[in-house]
Chains A and B, each alone.
Chain A
């Protein structure tokens, strides 16, 4: 459990880890997801996934980031009012596909990175599968085509 304390120290947070239904959760008050990803990298935690939930009404999304530390599942939830959050792909290679999947499924934009189609195809509407959209909220953009592979 020393590593858990190391994460808190590196982040400079006063929040404690709280156990809840399969994971230890840390409330990231005032911390960006990139700061958390950096701290997880520093202690050797393995990135597992991001789970996205759309909040009721038009209140945005809850993104739960998960890491594994020696068999202990760690969770860090972020509630975003709009549909943008910083990408951690450059800090954490393993986050590439799940960021692309959440982008396609919920039309959440991970800023600072480019996308290629993962499960959808060129011309499909972003968010078509999992995002509930009102008329005013309809995501307009389409999935872009794959880039040409070059050496």
Chain B
């Protein structure tokens, strides 16, 4: 006999509100249906009522984790409509901010995943490490969450002594290599909770159009930093980790390897940062009539902005945001099919969902 288990929208196993209606037979999930929209704020409509300064501050608040990525993507689209090209130093600072954000997002996710595995010591360890990343972000921007770094034509703040940040990044990498990564990749607890569960096959990953670490853990080798380089990524060398298993463990491995790659990118970018201006913008901008699109590889995957403007207007005519969780979330239905009910909180967390982004 089958029965329905509703999980959410407010549930101890979920960090943010959404609802998963699961049809179970015994302890096995046969099918599921997802419901989102509990955080809906109408941000795309609000954006049409804000001028070109205000809209950057507004879109920074689409997400509390990857706030910098949203302003980066928006500013890149607005730069296409204003014809402005950020100076080289600004592009490097954008890379540094993006990779620091990826680091703290991945470490935060590792902590949440550890908690859902019943591994609460690791949760505390991850959050202590994340604090070190947040310290670096605060040292650069003065803020811990909404950094207000990006502006049209560059960045708002310089990194005055980039080399001074390298030891902090080195220490972080050492700590990740010494504690978090070995435990996640070798401990029997992590293996027994993650291996072979929540599998998203390569074919299904392609069919669902999933992005980011979720795609790369199912053998889809896509990463916009390499495939469509933006900011200064075209001048930096890095690897794109890809795993084939498609299970929760593969998603964990991909993020663990990306943490190390991010540390390498950061050290490389800080050492190579050219001197010069950090912005070519002023306090008045002229937009041409038309539409521009911009894409960025956020910690969870591809973010895309489509921005439409009318010449002479201070406000955008339309801002459309396609966030990575919006692309990844439908795949959870296929991941939980056949899974044990007790594994579903960890499976849904394995895509690192962000409902603030998804609902906008």
Contact = CB atoms under 8 A, between A and B. Distances in A.
A53 B228 CA distance: 26
B23 A21 contact: no
Interface stretch (A8-16, A26-34, A79-87, A112-120): A112-120
Interface string B208-234: 110000000000001010111000000
B321 to A, nearest CB: 9
Given A71-B227, A149-B23, A149-B31, A21 B37 contact: no
B37 A118 contact: yes
A103 B224 CA distance: 29
A47 B308 CA distance: 21
Interface in A23-54: 23, 44, 46-49, 51-53
Given A22-B80, A48-B322, A130 B45 contact: yes
Nearest to A70: B227
B236 interface: no
Among A96, A105, A119, find the residue whose CB has the most chain B CB atoms closer than 10 A.
Answer: A119
Contacts of A66: 293, 304
Interface string A80-105: 00000000000011101110000001
Given A48-B322, A119-B40, A130-B44, A96 B330 contact: yes
Given A21-B293, A130-B44, A72 B228 contact: yes
Among A20, A47, A48, A121, find the residue whose CB has the most chain B CB atoms closer than 10 A.
Answer: A48
Contacts of B291: 21, 51, 53, 64
Contacts of A130: 44-45
Nearest to A46: B209
B35 interface: yes
A130 B45 CA distance: 6
B163 interface: no
Interface in B323-345: 326-327, 329-330
Instruction: Tell me what chain A mostly uses at the interface: helix, strand, loop, or mixed.
Output: mixed
B132 interface: no
Contact of B77 (A20, A22, A96, A117): A22
B58 interface: no
Contacts of A71: 222, 224, 226-228
A23 B293 contact: yes
A129 interface: yes
B209 A94 contact: yes
A46 B221 CA distance: 12
B4 interface: yes
B207 A97 contact: no
Given A22-B80, A49-B304, A129-B45, A150 B227 contact: no
B16 interface: no
Contact of B207 (A21, A64, A70, A93): A93
A93 B294 CA distance: 23
Contact of A118 (B2, B36, B226): B36
A22 B293 contact: yes
Nearest to A52: B320
Contacts of B25: 151
A96 B33 CA distance: 13
Contacts of A53: 291, 308, 317-318
14 contacts: A20-B290, A21-B80, A21-B290, A46-B206, A48-B209, A48-B302, A48-B304, A53-B317, A71-B226, A71-B227, A93-B208, A93-B330, A129-B45, A151-B30
5 closest A-B pairs (Cβ-Cβ)? A71-B227, A94-B209, A22-B293, A21-B292, A119-B37
Interface of B: 2, 4, 21, 23, 25, 30-33, 35-37, 40, 42, 44-45, 77, 80-81, 206-209, 222, 224, 226-228, 290-295, 302, 304, 306, 308, 317-318, 320, 322, 326-327, 329-330, 359
